[in-house]
Structure 1
Amino acid sequence: MARWAVFAGLTALVVFLLLALARVSQVTSRETVAETQTDASERPEPARHPEGEPASLSTGLLLANVALSQGLFLVVLLGSAWYARIPLSALGATPANWLGELAVGGALGIGLYLVNELGSRAAEAVGIEVPDGLRESLAPDSMVGWVVLLAVVLPTIAVFEEFLFRAALVGAFSTGFSLSPWLLALLSSVAFALGHGAQGALGMVVTGGLGFVLASAFIVTGSLLVVVVAHYLINALEFAVNEGSLG
């Protein structure tokens, strides 16, 4: 039980750090919006590079920061799961049918993306602003950037977030502490929503709903692969359609 307590403590620490980072991003986002609403004549001229372009953090550095930070958190979680000897079955990491689980994950991801996209467009049609600043800030402006985003950053995000919010908080906690997986699905989805605070109130509501659907899929299928694939496709399609050549 002591090993499980260590795993639970490190998992809780990762959640706390993730929520703290989300809070910082949320405050920064609000300040950015406030600055953009200030009359241009009242703002000082922004710092510029020698070439005359406004200075800003490059998309490449933003992508690297996301990949490295979430990758580091993932390593911590994997190490703690190994130390605590968490059964692979509790983490949904024992796929019985790779092709079947890939197909289920693919269908789920495409379906959730379509629901999310239609909901966003319906909200915009009735005058509800859908925040997309975070997605725009991470959108690459080169082919290499798109390869890095689709092949490195988004897979890292999908694996880390699904391992934390579904495999650890739902699968492992329900097995190790005899808690209802559906109660844990609800609680983890709230944490999942709060972890996306930079997307605003509407974004957190939508993310929380998506998180609960993914948690439900994890409970029903018992597969981490299904939810990782679904999560990846939701993000990849959102970038490709709204920020890429498919838009």
Structure 2
Amino acid sequence: MSPGLLLLNVALTQGLFGAILAGGAWYFGVPLDVLGVSGDALSTGLPALLVGVVFGVVLWVGNELASGLAASSGADYDEGLRELLAPEGVRGWGLLLGATLPTIAVVEEFVFRAAVVGAVTPVAGTSPWVLAVVSSVAFALGHGAQGRVGVLVTGGLGFALAAGFVLTESLLVVVVAHYLVNALEFLAHEGFGLPDPVWS
């Protein structure tokens, strides 16, 4: 399968899964505010977008640091999936940055942060931080294709995103941050061919 078809397949598969989950949330009447969607400016307004951008850049730098630490310890994690999804040509990059990565960010944040942390917290009557840990473990295990070190790094990223969701109560913040982490990683290493980490 060509990179373009693979990107399209990922976008469609994730999009369908996300649509089913969103339909389920609507059917069962899950309140939007527990999913991180409200009328507050920090939830859906420009402040949320700006916080998400800053948060995403910080998380990307953290990912690069983690990559550097892994490399220095001789425990490099598998980047085969990123290389497999690396696009060819302007159209491929447009598909990646304009469809596949946004869809992944929206669906994964809806599942692991909005649903597992936001929706379950009031039902379970527990601390959102407990569910942040649970969601982070699930998020990490869902990225097993990146190897054991990649799972650990992704688990840390997942907890950081969960913390961002708990503190801001905004789905938009973590969606933007998640998108930027992925987009910057692809642009830096597959687009511009920079080393991993970029300062090595």
- Determine the C-alpha separation between the residues in 2 that align with 1:220 and 1:95: 16
- Answering whether residue 27 of structure 2 is matched by residue 83 of structure 1, we say yes
Match of 2:50 among 103, 118, 140: 103
Match of 1:209 among 128, 149, 156: 156
Task: Note the C-alpha offset of 1:69.
Answer: 1.2
What is the CA deviation profile of residues 115-168 of structure 1, one whole-angstrom value per residue up to 9, with x for unaligned ones?
111221232234222211000000001100000000000000000000000000
Identity %, equivalent residues: 57
What is the CA deviation profile of residues 62-113 of structure 1, one whole-angstrom value per residue up to 9, with x for unaligned ones?
1122111111110111000000111110000115211111111111110010
What does residue 22 of structure 1 align with?
A: none
Match of 1:140 among 83, 87, 91: 87
Q: Provide the secondary structure at the position in 2 that maps to 1:127.
A: coil
Match of 2:62 among 97, 103, 115: 115
Whether the aligned pair in 1 keeps the contact of 2:8 and 2:95 (CA below 8 Å) is no
Which of 156-165 and 68-77 deviates more? 68-77
What does residue 219 of structure 1 align with?
A: 166
What does residue 38 of structure 2 align with?
A: 94
- Determine the C-alpha separation between the residues in 1 that align with 2:69 and 2:137: 24
Root mean square deviation of aligned Cα: 1.2
Task: Note the C-alpha offset of 1:245.
Answer: 2.3
- Determine the C-alpha separation between the residues in 1 that align with 2:124 and 2:73: 45
Going from structure 1 to structure 2, the CA distance change for 1:184 and 1:126 (only over 3 Å counts) comes to closer
- Determine the C-alpha separation between the residues in 2 that align with 1:129 and 1:172: 36
Q: Residue type matched to 2:25 in 1?
A: A
What does residue 17 of structure 2 align with?
A: 73
What does residue 197 of structure 1 align with?
A: 144
Q: Residue type matched to 1:187 in 2?
A: V
Going from structure 1 to structure 2, the CA distance change for 1:95 and 1:136 (only over 3 Å counts) comes to farther
Task: Note the C-alpha offset of 1:181.
Answer: 1.0
- Determine the C-alpha separation between the residues in 2 that align with 1:212 and 1:123: 19
Task: Note the C-alpha offset of 1:184.
Answer: 0.8
**Would you identify which runs of 4 or more consecutive aligned residues in structure 1 move more than 3 Å?**
none
Q: 1:25-40 residue pairs with structure 2 within 5 A?
A: none
| TM-score, normalisation: structure 2 | 0.92
- Answering whether residue 190 of structure 2 is matched by residue 234 of structure 1, we say no
Going from structure 1 to structure 2, the CA distance change for 1:240 and 1:95 (only over 3 Å counts) comes to farther
Match of 2:125 among 175, 178, 183: 178
Equivalent residue pairs, number: 191
- Determine the C-alpha separation between the residues in 2 that align with 1:80 and 1:206: 31
Greater RCO (CA < 8 Å, at least 6 residues apart): 2
Going from structure 1 to structure 2, the CA distance change for 1:85 and 1:238 (only over 3 Å counts) comes to same
Q: Residue type matched to 1:220 in 2?
A: L
Whether the aligned pair in 2 keeps the contact of 1:95 and 1:101 (CA below 8 Å) is no
Q: Provide the secondary structure at the position in 2 that maps to 1:89.
A: helix
Q: Residue type matched to 1:65 in 2?
A: N
Please tell me whether Structure 1 or Structure 2 has the larger radius of gyration of its CA atoms.
Answer: 1
- Determine the C-alpha separation between the residues in 2 that align with 1:204 and 1:126: 16
- Determine the C-alpha separation between the residues in 1 that align with 2:98 and 2:8: 13
**Which segments of 5 or more consecutive residues in structure 2 lack a partner in the other structure?**
195-200
